[in-house]
Structure 1
Amino acid sequence: MGFTARHPRYTMALIMLLFISILIFANSEPSPRYLSRPYPLSFPKHGEGLPPGYVEDQIKTSEAYYQESLKERQKLITKWGPSPSQVAAFPSNGEFYTLWDFFTPAFRCPHRMQRVGTLGDGGKWVCGLERLEDKKDCIIYSVGVNGESSFEATLLQRAPGCQVYGYDFSVKSFGPEIEKVPSLKRRAHFKPYALGGADAHGPNDDPPYYTLASLLAKNNHTFIDILKIDIEGAEFEAVEALIDAYPSASSSSWSSDDGKSGIAGGGLPFGQLQLEVHVRENMPWTYFPKFLLWWEKLEKAGLRPFWTEPNLVYVNLVRGARPDLVEYSFINIRGSHELVSGQHITY
């Protein structure tokens, strides 16, 4: 005779105990120590819930890692050079690298990072958009509109305190994403200007050229929260001129009088930069040493790439074309603004 036949009451008690235990465990909250927390749908806007100095410490840590990445860049130059003048931007003799391998986005955005605008050509990667969602007097500059404004429209929708200033001599207005939405168009300002390395906006200049510093002065602005530049190769002179207009940015360094983490110096007049870099054949910037000096100038001014995305549209359209168009997103680690501080900044 089996155990269950000899002890039916004991067997039933065990079954009931097992059933009750299953019900209890099924309806109880798991221990927080083992609970896998979901990806947050909201992020601190003004440092709520963040320990004091959290963002500043994240910037400082990322900067240390970025400096290590510069050593790796030098190793790669030595390997394929050994001097910069001997490095080809896009080699054709079986070397396993391209120009972009020397300039990796080794810095980490200390906030939420997301792609804004349409998928494919037109969208950009942005750091910490949540920090601007309820900011008053937020300023966006978009240079190079080209009739597609999903990026700018999404920024205006997400941040109702923002105004966007667009510049492009090849079109007459923003794209339909803004022009056909009255609530967005009221906060959008367009001019058919070109961005360049020098001003040329006299009566005989068509199109009129402005430096970014001149546009800031013309609009009575001192700071741009998000700066997007896509000007088909003219970005080299334009960005150089901007950095030259703010020499204190390049003389600033990571330091703090009280020994805490922080960035000294005024810095460039924007929080982040979304930049499409064009290194087409026969351009002087295809020469690796020249491109390297330009890039190092950006780094010296406090710009750190936190994302890169190759624009492969033209590689697909023109079979056999070089991958010479790349989107970069930079954070400005100098000055005092939302991306480098856990606190809300008032300008």
Structure 2
Amino acid sequence: MYIRLGCYNWSKYRLMIGFLVVIGLIVLLLLNINCANEKYCISSKLNRLPSNNEIDENILDVYRKQIPQRQQYLLQVPESNDYSVLYNTLVPEVFCRNLVRIGFIGDGGKWICNPLNVQSSHECVVYSLGIRDDPSFEEEFQRFTGNKCLLRSFDKDAQNSSTIQRISAANGKFMKALIAGKTNELMNHFTFKDIMNRFGDKRVDILKIDIEGAEFDIQDELISVPICQILIEIHGKTSKEALQLLQKFSTSGFYLFSYEINGFNHECAEYGFIHQDCFKNYDIKTIYGKYLS
């Protein structure tokens, strides 16, 4: 058995289909007009995305609304070795899309933002303060980026010959030096500016610091020269002093993009900062919100 559609019946069938299509289009139009507050509205959902398509605007709103709370919590950071308030409050201030940990898997590796971007830069300079006969970070960074950067390595102590050879093979130079507030060549003490002048460098793209607590003594030197990224391990002292160092970086134009608590000693942590003048160089497009200053 089958239904035969004559010319008259087929015309009615087409008319019905057309009517249903028109009704469907009207319904969709009404939904899009009134969907501003609808959870599953397609057009509204697309409109909430930022122009760079990295982070949903609703997520950014959460981060930004939390800024006053974080700042209030940081006021409670004690002058003791209790780091719980500080660590529980910290979050990145900017989003780095290609964040990677370079170097040894355990203690000594550093989180870095978009390291491959140095390959397209006209010139790249990496400064490394604190070697302790372990240039594994420097070697892996140079391998990863194709030896693009000029590497300057420093330590207050002399390094063994194999370490010097490894640094040299990574397109680097080693200098026995202690960064200080005043230059005294007889004691191998140098200001950061004098060190850079010695090598003829105008700025530092990546500054890696692991100098066992001496970072507190040279904090003014660290912000006295143009630097794009600071990868620093902060050691010991009180949580209040650690916070004050983070805030000093912040007031100097740096934004936190990463932090990692040391699993061996919770009074130590790795921090990654990027300067606002270098956002374009490393594809920083999304700012969660600045709360450290």
Q: Would you say same fold, with TM above 0.5?
A: yes
1:99-138 matches, within 5 Å, as: 99-102=86-89, 104-138=90-124
Q: Which has the higher contact order (CA 8 A, sep 6+)?
A: 2
Contact 1:148 1:175 in 2 (8 A): no
Shift, 1:76, TM fit: 1.8
Aligned to 2:258: 307
C-alpha separation in 2, matches of 1:127 and 1:167: 22
Aligned to 2:182: 199
Shift, 1:147, TM fit: 1.0
Aligned to 2:131: 145
Aligned to 1:27: none
Contact 2:81 2:239 in 1 (8 A): no
C-alpha separation in 2, matches of 1:182 and 1:213: 23
1:139-288 matches, within 5 Å, as: 139-159=125-145, 160-172=147-159, 176=163, 179-180=165-166, 183-184=169-170, 187-196=171-180, 198-203=181-186, 205=187, 208-243=188-223, 245=224, 269-280=226-237, 286=238, 288=240
C-alpha separation in 2, matches of 1:218 and 1:195: 13
Shift, 1:223, TM fit: 1.4
The one-letter amino acid of 1:189's match is K
The one-letter amino acid of 2:261's match is P
Aligned to 1:330: 273
C-alpha separation in 2, matches of 1:130 and 1:101: 31
C-alpha separation in 2, matches of 1:122 and 1:175: 19
Query: Which secondary structure state, in structure 1, belongs to the residue aligned with residue 205 of structure 2?
Result: strand
Shift, 1:228, TM fit: 0.2
Shift, 1:70, TM fit: 4.0
Query: Which secondary structure state, in structure 2, belongs to the residue aligned with residue 339 of structure 1?
Result: coil
Query: Which secondary structure state, in structure 2, belongs to the residue aligned with residue 147 of structure 1?
Result: coil
C-alpha separation in 1, matches of 2:251 and 2:59: 16
Q: Relative to 1, partners in 2 of residues 1:75 and 1:151: Cα closer, same or farther, differing over 3 Å?
A: same
Query: Which secondary structure state, in structure 2, belongs to the residue aligned with residue 275 of structure 1?
Result: strand
Contact 1:233 1:277 in 2 (8 A): yes
Superposition TM-score, scaled by structure 2 size: 0.68
Aligned to 1:75: 72
Aligned to 2:7: none
C-alpha separation in 1, matches of 2:122 and 2:59: 29
The one-letter amino acid of 1:97's match is S
Query: Which residue of 298, 301, 304 corresponds with 2:249?
Result: 298
Give aligned pairs, total. Answer: 233
Shift, 1:218, TM fit: 1.8
Unaligned runs of 5+ in 2: 1-50, 286-293
Identity level (%): 23
State the Cα deviation string for residues 46-76 of structure 1 (Å, max 9, x = none).
Answer: xxxxxxx949x98xx9998776554222332
Shift, 1:135, TM fit: 3.6
C-alpha separation in 1, matches of 2:60 and 2:198: 34
Query: Which secondary structure state, in structure 2, belongs to the residue aligned with residue 119 of structure 1?
Result: coil
Q: Relative to 1, partners in 2 of residues 1:271 and 1:182: Cα closer, same or farther, differing over 3 Å?
A: closer
Unaligned runs of 5+ in 1: 1-52, 247-268, 281-285, 316-322, 343-347
Contact 1:302 1:333 in 2 (8 A): yes
The one-letter amino acid of 2:174's match is F
State the Cα deviation string for residues 227-276 of structure 1 (Å, max 9, x = none).
Answer: 10111111123222332x36xxxxxxxxxxxxxxxxxxxxxx12111000
Aligned to 2:81: 90
State the Cα deviation string for residues 169-225 of structure 1 (Å, max 9, x = none).
Answer: 22325865x7258742xx1100010123x123232x2xx122222212221111111
More deviation, 144-153/208-217: 208-217
Q: Relative to 1, partners in 2 of residues 1:304 and 1:77: Cα closer, same or farther, differing over 3 Å?
A: closer
Query: Which secondary structure state, in structure 2, belongs to the residue aligned with residue 334 of structure 1?
Result: helix
State the Cα deviation string for residues 300-346 of structure 1 (Å, max 9, x = none).
Answer: 11111111111223x4xxxxxxx21111111112257512578xxxx
Q: Relative to 1, partners in 2 of residues 1:271 and 1:76: Cα closer, same or farther, differing over 3 Å?
A: same
